[in-house]
Structure 1
Amino acid sequence: MSHLLRTSRLFAWLFLTGLSVAVITASGFYLYLRPGLPPVEQLLDIKLQTPLRVYSKDHRLIAEFGEKRRAPITIEQIPTIQLQAFMAAEDARFYEHFGVDIKGLMRAAVQLVSTGEIQSGGSTITMQVAKNYFLSRDRTFIRKFNEILLALQIERELDKNRIFELYLNKIYLGNRAYGIAAAAQVYYDKPVNELTLAQMAMLAGLPKAPSAYNPLANPERALIRRNWILGRMQELGYITADAYDLAVNAPLTASYNATEAEVDADYVAEMARAEMVRRFGEDAYTDGYSVTLTVEGDKQQTATEALRAGLEAYDQRHGYRGPIGQLEPSELQERDVAELASNYPRVESLLPAIVTSVSDEEQQALVHARGIGQAVMPFETMTWAKRYKTEDLAGPEPKKPSDVVAVGDVIYVKLQNPAMIDPEDTGSEEPRITPVKVALSQVPRVEGALISLKADTGAIEALAGGYSFNQSKYNRATQADRQPGSTFKPFLYLTALENGMTPATIYNDAPIVFEDSELETAWRPENSSGRFGGPTRLREALYSSKNLVSVRLLRDVGIRTTLENLEQLRIPVDNMPDNLSLALGSGLITPMQLARAQAVIANGGFDVEPYLIEEIRDMNGEVVYQAPKTILCEDNCDDLVAKEELEETPESLTDANPKDLTSEGLTDTRDDQSIRLMKRLADERSVYILHSMMQDVIRRGTGRRAQALGRSDIAGKTGTTNEQRDTWFAGFNHKVATTVWVGFDQPAPLGRGEYGASTALPIWIDYMQVALKDAPPAVMPRPNGIVNVRINPETGERARPGEEGIFELFKEEEAPPALTAEDSNGGGSDNGGSDLSRQLF
């Protein structure tokens, strides 16, 4: 036997021995690791961590909650060229291998032997799916073997397209973007199918090192990586030479694009977030729930803006409190002004700005505003800035800019106009740029709330809980217990109407003194005007907001009777006083509770349950919660429920949790969660008459400003507490009930001349102009048993022939008795009925 043959046999035996050892070793690893490997079926059940998204009723984004931005997408929605970009970058032979690329692993092994480190793992896309979904990111041999075994299993049980889809939805691409759809949004503000070739290659370069190749953090390295991928795509025949040249010369266009809310509704968003966490725990942030609220986008945006504008208007009426900071002129020269301005926070639309020059001759100041740069602040925007002293006292009106600001002042401004080309400058080679103009402003100290409900269902159409959620998370709409003042009076008058009183009942509007053994001095209630009107009909007393009549009325109706009626209306009475001050609204109630109670009046006396969440869908788009259907019922509630139960209700809409999704976490104890019953709480005839009386608040009373809306169907009531600590306006038509409150968080006087009609009502008007736009008039239908009777306004009795009279509404059985023949012989002509301005229909 020759030496060559013996050597060959030796090498053959060594090879077989090595192969056997390798097989035995691999088998040992397999037998050792296999029991701990998860089943591939779990891939199909894994929930991608997708953020919670909150939408308005018209599907405009309000907020997104969750650490990971993700928008799952199917492979059919991804352009082929984008798939090829990822293959060129990560795994060119993806559709050819069986889950493991032997060449890639050999290359990694050579790197390990030659350098002592694993420089590239040789992982295929399938292996990355195994790692991303099941394994840690530790760079160890055990993890790599697990990765290989899982990749083989995945390839046996899933097709290639499904594996690729899982990969593209899971990978981290920097800036909290997980998955290609989220990355396209974050970097380019586009859907995947609208990306250019250069942008596709840029995204494909991110999985290897999302921070190192990030076009925002490291544009130079990102450009190198992008162009390398484009070169690989050309080598592999995915793109032509012309397409390569065009893409490789394309500039970097990436920018950070956070998901922008389409509706400014932070307080509403927080209410929805808290409710979702209550229901689903921390999974609410990651399981891809989509929540649709009852608020409408335009109405909600208007509510937010109207409240802020009203609070700013009040704040400016009481003067300028001075700059929020002061910088030395030398500091402005030595340091970057933009950097200095960035040290102060933006508050909603108010921008921090530094005054850089003041010119009394040019009647302006120059400022450097955060996010804008240099801007002009004309003196006309500063004329309101009297020096604040107290809520009742301000300094003289400023005459020139230097009376208000000085160089180095740090102030807040509002943008008046963006920089633009001067439209009148058409002849010059370089058209003039109109400078940015800003107006002096300041962050209001006063706060407020606005709540608007659909009167017939309780759905929240808009809610604003304060000036700025970023400044204060305290939601005054649902959390602030305040005195309602005269907005409480309609409930007292409703109690009176249900206990035999009529709008024509006469009370004396005159001074009254009450002795109380618990008080050191007697209680002498007064009208806000300080004047007295003598004998006054209840209708007139309500629209003129006569305190003394209300106190006498409560005394006659009874405190206990009134409190019981409040309970019947489901108005909380725990914080209501058990004395005559109740008539003046001295109890405590939240704006939401008052809005709910007003909605009961607005809808004709039916119960109302405010709620915010209309629908919840899971990440697959399946409905997991639907707000119960509202049913108005008199005495036939059981029959209506039985009828509704005959209709098929999808099982997916059944809510196992007995707690209803309401704005205040109210508990609904009914077993049937597909129906929300609204039972009658007040006599419809009494409510109808009260509607008419509250419409007179708008026509001739304290709410006359609301006539600016030009509508005949609105009613309401102003409210102002002692020392103007709380101011309100609660108004409605038959479909919408809206309540506005204004005051300080720590109750304090708002100042002379500040009443519900001057602080809260303008906000209500601004909101209702949009809420009622193009809506037909909505008035409560006139119930049976109501009559119109012509009465003597001085006595409340039927008018005799020839007497000046007005028409009044009565329940049929409570109308003034008919005139006798003797009464009717008073002679004279009936001229009173011709005075249409005083007739009440």
Structure 2
Amino acid sequence: MSHLLRTSRLFAWLFLTGLSVAVIVGSGFYLYLRPGLPPVEQLLDIKLQTPLRVYSKDNRLIAEFGEKRRAPITIEQIPTIQLQAFLAAEDSRFYEHFGVDIKGLVRAAIELISTGSIQSGGSTITMQVAKNYFLSRDRTFIRKFNEILLAVQIERELEKDEILELYLNKIYLGNRAYGIAAAARVYYNKPVNELSLAQMAMLAGLPKAPSAYNPLANPQRAMQRRDWILGRMKELAYISPTAYDLAIQAPLTATYNATETEVDADYVAEMARAEMVRRFGEEAYTDGYSVTLTVDSKEQQTATDALRSGLEAYDRRHGFRGAIGKLDADTLAGGDLARAMLNYPRVESLMPAAITEINDDKGEARAYVRRFGPAIIPFETMQWARRYRTENLTGPKPEKASDVVSVGDVVYVRVDELPKVPDTPDDAEQTVDQDPASVQPIRASLMQVPKAEGALISIEAKTGAIQALAGGYSFGQSKYNRAIQAKRQPGSTFKPFLYLSALESGKTPATIYNDAPIVFDDSELETAWRPQNSSGQFYGPTPLREALYRSRNLVSIRLLRDLGIPQMLDYLDQLKVPTENMPKDLSLSLGSGQLSPMELARGLAVIANGGYDVEPFLIQSITDVDGKDIYLAPEVILCERNCGTNDLEPETSTDDTLESTLTMTEESAPKTRVMRRLADERSVYILHSMLRDVVKRGTGRRALALGRDDIAGKTGTTNEQRDTWFAGFNHNLATTVWVGFDQPAPLGRREFGASTALPIWIDYMKVALDGAPSAFMPRPNGIVNIRINPETGRRARPGEEGAFEIFKEEDAPAPLTEEDERPGRTHGNGDDLSRQIF
């Protein structure tokens, strides 16, 4: 007994000694590591990295920016069965332990001793929260001790449900999905509360190894992991045997579902992204901001489609430039066309395709289309493809498919009937593994990527809110936003500013100017300047109304000469039309200066709204990750005079002021933005009437297709057709379209603003104004209607043929004298006209 007693005492002492050493070592580690541990309170203040999302004003997703896809969710929004699936997979004793599961640690220690390497960490969900939020992922003992200590702290200060919520919002679940809500969207395109039991178990299997158990990358292993979790849920009595049996038989239904944007508006999205980064720095990508823009999804999509369609139509008129590449016979015969086609990028809806066969008897070519596989290109879709020679010359009309393409040619096509293509992650290409001969071909049309570019900007005239903006054919092909970055000559779309200045200076629509040749000698020019009308003809004495709607260049030059170039530049400054790129000679009257499409659209909006200042803006509101408004665009107030009342904020139309308001909270941001009058309302009203005649009787007659009587506007075409424009409006909406080449070059001698830009404008405005009532500028006081002799601009005598014209009261033609009313008396043009002949 004494030997047994001594042995027992020895083991007792050894146990106490080991325990003491463990306590001392543990205390030492605690005292050493404790000062470096972060406070648990930080968990409640941590902002989960949530992407920047951009929405249209009708709440359609335009874009998402940020590396991590995440949509934070509360634990109340997660079904109980989904919570139990994660507990079964990761930590079934979560609601029982104090943050550390001793059984799990012992099991991990045994695995380490028996295998010599770390097999599992024995981590609880709380320990994973500590690691994910605060610690590195290094597999070291120091990190593990930190994890344990921090887990214990977390358990002492947070409720279990709070810990579980943090965990489910933070975990990485593969394919850039962080958190359960994002994963449900990525793999199943559903909210969490709509997942089936089998799908819930599949998601619960991902935290252990997101790549190894990914249902897209490793479907077999993912299914095994899912089935094991379902078994654990049955053992833990989370689900019934019947539910288990049904779920275990469920097929794999996971597919890759990228965040689908609902509006094709890349240029607008980039403008919003750049603005947010400028305001908030790199945190814009991670702090969960949601930006609502002023654009309407339907109008924006229409603008994008109209611009692309218009550029494609122009491109087809000038012929087919040929194949973009050539595949050799070995590549065609080898069958690896899918890999070969990866060398050619898709451009929006246009896909590269390799011609594999031509059958003129059937009137078709066969091709292999990147991503879609075999296709038939009917000859009827090639009939436009005359061979391009110059911008003014094309080859003969093709008679058969072989006149257009050859076997091995790589061309662009548009797939007419889109088949269902399986989803693949991270923009990977879907390729066709079957023998192309065994795959049912799709139908496609021959296309080519336009070389000409364009821009469309539509602005709500009374507020400056941008309704739609398209900065080019393809953002993927070129990030250059022509709507705001391109500086181009406006041509005759500049003339409304010139004529408005003339109306403010006492000229009237009836003022007569001589449309006759004029020559200017300039020592800086090699030859004399002989401007002419686009028709090359001259038409003699012409009223200003007719000169504007017929776009008579010689009248505009004489008009500017009378007004004076300095006065015109000062007036442009008054209208806030930039003048730094304006010439200081008479070519200014023909739009030889430079403006961006946005600058021209903004100036047009000033005219459209009746003469008030306009400050275009794109961002309507910004909310933070909690849904709180941190910025609301101020209400725009059009101010006639004496606007400095206590009810209105000071004018906030400068860029500096706008910058300061965007970073303010909703409570401190200005509630109003006062826009003051820049032009006389009567002059603007008269100009509206003159510009409506451009549509009714002049160069903008195509716009009559809209069937509206409130449309006004002006076409524009510069020398050699390098820039073509249409700027049109009613009282509520101003829209400008530009078409040209990025590197200025002639578009072709038969191309004008009416043939290139105006059709795009019509396609957009047809939708933008659909169902909207006519919007005319209200007639201001001080306007009179007078019957005049159109040939003289003076009042018509009784019985004389005449037409009614509108005038400002003080500029109306003088009343007829008794002598004027005598029979046989005729008006002469007098000095006013003779002065304009030279």
Q: Tell whether the structures are fold-level matches, with TM greater than 0.5.
A: yes
> Which position in structure 2 is the counterpart of 1:436?
442
SS at match of 2:459: strand
CA distance in 1, matches of 2:660, 2:249: 56
Q: Could you tell me how far 1:22 is from its partner in structure 2?
A: 1.4
Residue identity matched to 1:826:
P
> Which position in structure 1 is the counterpart of 2:546?
540
Give the one of 449, 462, 471 matched to 2:468. Answer: 462
Aligned: 1:626 with 2:632: yes
SS at match of 2:123: coil
- Listed one character per residue, the Cα deviations across residues 422-445 of structure 1 (whole Å, up to 9, x for unaligned) are xxxxxxxxxxx9963211100000
- Listed one character per residue, the Cα deviations across residues 338-394 of structure 1 (whole Å, up to 9, x for unaligned) are 332333111001011111211111111112212222222111111110000110111
Aligned: 1:608 with 2:614: yes
Q: Could you tell me how far 1:603 is from its partner in structure 2?
A: 0.2
Q: Could you tell me how far 1:81 is from its partner in structure 2?
A: 0.8
CA distance in 2, matches of 1:672, 1:632: 19
Contact between 1:321 and 1:388, CA under 8 Å: does it hold in 2? yes
Q: Could you tell me how far 1:221 is from its partner in structure 2?
A: 1.3
> Which position in structure 2 is the counterpart of 1:380?
380
> Which position in structure 2 is the counterpart of 1:832?
none
- Comparing 556-565 with 23-32, greater Cα deviation is found at 23-32
Map 1:657-676 → 2, pairs under 5 A = 658-660=656-658, 673-676=670-673
Q: Could you tell me how far 1:662 is from its partner in structure 2?
A: 12
Residue identity matched to 1:786:
I
Give the one of 576, 585, 591 matched to 2:597. Answer: 591
- Listed one character per residue, the Cα deviations across residues 628-670 of structure 1 (whole Å, up to 9, x for unaligned) are 221110212211xx21469xxxxxxx9999552699x9xxxxx
CA distance in 2, matches of 1:441, 1:29: 71
Contact between 1:484 and 1:589, CA under 8 Å: does it hold in 2? yes
SS at match of 1:823: coil
Contact between 1:525 and 1:547, CA under 8 Å: does it hold in 2? yes
Aligned: 1:755 with 2:752: yes
Give the one of 691, 696, 699 matched to 1:699. Answer: 696
Q: Judging changes above 3 Å, is the alpha-carbon distance between structure 1 residues 185 and 781 closer, same or farther for their aligned structure 2 residues?
A: same
CA distance in 2, matches of 1:379, 1:231: 60
> Which position in structure 2 is the counterpart of 1:643?
647
CA distance in 1, matches of 2:654, 2:613: 24
Give the one of 528, 531, 541 matched to 2:537. Answer: 531
Residue identity matched to 2:765:
M
Aligned: 1:301 with 2:301: yes
> Which position in structure 2 is the counterpart of 1:348?
348
> Which position in structure 2 is the counterpart of 1:521?
527
> Which position in structure 1 is the counterpart of 2:313?
313
- Comparing 347-356 with 365-374, greater Cα deviation is found at 365-374
Residue identity matched to 2:190:
K
CA distance in 1, matches of 2:649, 2:498: 39
Contact between 1:802 and 1:826, CA under 8 Å: does it hold in 2? no
Q: Judging changes above 3 Å, is the alpha-carbon distance between structure 1 residues 656 and 466 closer, same or farther for their aligned structure 2 residues?
A: closer
Aligned: 1:723 with 2:720: yes
> Which position in structure 2 is the counterpart of 1:112?
112
- Comparing 436-445 with 714-723, greater Cα deviation is found at 436-445
- Listed one character per residue, the Cα deviations across residues 11-46 of structure 1 (whole Å, up to 9, x for unaligned) are 222222221221122111111111111110000000
> Which position in structure 2 is the counterpart of 1:831?
none
The count of corresponding residues between Structure 1 and Structure 2 is 802
CA distance in 2, matches of 1:805, 1:366: 66
SS at match of 1:70: coil
Map 1:44-59 → 2, pairs under 5 A = 44-59=44-59
> Which position in structure 1 is the counterpart of 2:396?
396
Contact between 2:519 and 2:530, CA under 8 Å: does it hold in 1? yes
> Which position in structure 1 is the counterpart of 2:410?
410
Aligned: 1:505 with 2:511: yes
Q: So what's the TM-score if we normalise by structure 1?
A: 0.93
Q: Judging changes above 3 Å, is the alpha-carbon distance between structure 1 residues 619 and 480 closer, same or farther for their aligned structure 2 residues?
A: same
> Which position in structure 2 is the counterpart of 1:136?
136
Contact between 1:268 and 1:463, CA under 8 Å: does it hold in 2? yes
Contact between 2:653 and 2:675, CA under 8 Å: does it hold in 1? no
Give the one of 816, 821, 834 matched to 1:824. Answer: 821
SS at match of 1:320: coil
CA distance in 1, matches of 2:392, 2:558: 32
> Which position in structure 1 is the counterpart of 2:485?
479
Where in structure 2 are there 5+ consecutive unaligned residues? Answer: 421-438, 663-667, 826-838
Residue identity matched to 1:660:
L
Contact between 2:653 and 2:674, CA under 8 Å: does it hold in 1? no
> Which position in structure 2 is the counterpart of 1:4?
4
Q: Could you tell me how far 1:249 is from its partner in structure 2?
A: 1.8
CA distance in 1, matches of 2:8, 2:226: 50
Residue identity matched to 1:566:
L
Contact between 2:40 and 2:153, CA under 8 Å: does it hold in 1? yes
> Which position in structure 2 is the counterpart of 1:563?
569
Residue identity matched to 1:685:
R
Q: Could you tell me how far 1:253 is from its partner in structure 2?
A: 1.3
SS at match of 1:274: helix
CA distance in 2, matches of 1:657, 1:563: 22
Q: Judging changes above 3 Å, is the alpha-carbon distance between structure 1 residues 766 and 628 closer, same or farther for their aligned structure 2 residues?
A: same
CA distance in 1, matches of 2:742, 2:579: 22
SS at match of 2:17: helix
- Comparing 21-30 with 156-165, greater Cα deviation is found at 21-30
CA distance in 2, matches of 1:127, 1:581: 75
CA distance in 2, matches of 1:702, 1:657: 36
> Which position in structure 2 is the counterpart of 1:362?
362
> Which position in structure 2 is the counterpart of 1:327?
327
Contact between 1:51 and 1:288, CA under 8 Å: does it hold in 2? yes
> Which position in structure 2 is the counterpart of 1:813?
810
Q: Judging changes above 3 Å, is the alpha-carbon distance between structure 1 residues 352 and 545 closer, same or farther for their aligned structure 2 residues?
A: same
Q: Could you tell me how far 1:116 is from its partner in structure 2?
A: 1.3
CA distance in 1, matches of 2:561, 2:814: 26
SS at match of 2:764: helix
Q: Could you tell me how far 1:824 is from its partner in structure 2?
A: 3.0
Q: Could you tell me how far 1:673 is from its partner in structure 2?
A: 3.5
CA RMSD of aligned residues (A): 2.0
Q: Could you tell me how far 1:419 is from its partner in structure 2?
A: 6.1
Contact between 2:374 and 2:440, CA under 8 Å: does it hold in 1? no
CA distance in 2, matches of 1:735, 1:256: 44
Q: Could you tell me how far 1:595 is from its partner in structure 2?
A: 0.2
CA distance in 1, matches of 2:654, 2:231: 57
Q: So what's the TM-score if we normalise by structure 2?
A: 0.94
CA distance in 1, matches of 2:649, 2:593: 41
Q: Could you tell me how far 1:203 is from its partner in structure 2?
A: 0.8
Q: Could you tell me how far 1:59 is from its partner in structure 2?
A: 0.8
Map 1:175-214 → 2, pairs under 5 A = 175-214=175-214
Residue identity matched to 1:197:
L
- Listed one character per residue, the Cα deviations across residues 315-335 of structure 1 (whole Å, up to 9, x for unaligned) are 110000001111123421113
Contact between 1:655 and 1:673, CA under 8 Å: does it hold in 2? no
> Which position in structure 1 is the counterpart of 2:682?
685
Q: Judging changes above 3 Å, is the alpha-carbon distance between structure 1 residues 343 and 672 closer, same or farther for their aligned structure 2 residues?
A: closer
SS at match of 2:344: coil
Contact between 2:653 and 2:673, CA under 8 Å: does it hold in 1? no
Residue identity matched to 1:719:
G
> Which position in structure 1 is the counterpart of 2:43?
43
SS at match of 1:375: strand
Q: Could you tell me how far 1:118 is from its partner in structure 2?
A: 1.5
SS at match of 2:604: helix
CA distance in 2, matches of 1:749, 1:395: 19
SS at match of 1:406: coil
CA distance in 1, matches of 2:700, 2:659: 34
> Which position in structure 2 is the counterpart of 1:265?
265
Q: Judging changes above 3 Å, is the alpha-carbon distance between structure 1 residues 662 and 351 closer, same or farther for their aligned structure 2 residues?
A: farther
Residue identity matched to 1:382:
M
- Listed one character per residue, the Cα deviations across residues 241-276 of structure 1 (whole Å, up to 9, x for unaligned) are 221122122111111111011000101111111111
CA distance in 2, matches of 1:363, 1:628: 60
Residue identity matched to 1:791:
I
Contact between 1:295 and 1:612, CA under 8 Å: does it hold in 2? yes
Where in structure 1 are there 5+ consecutive unaligned residues? Answer: 421-432, 647-653, 666-670, 829-841
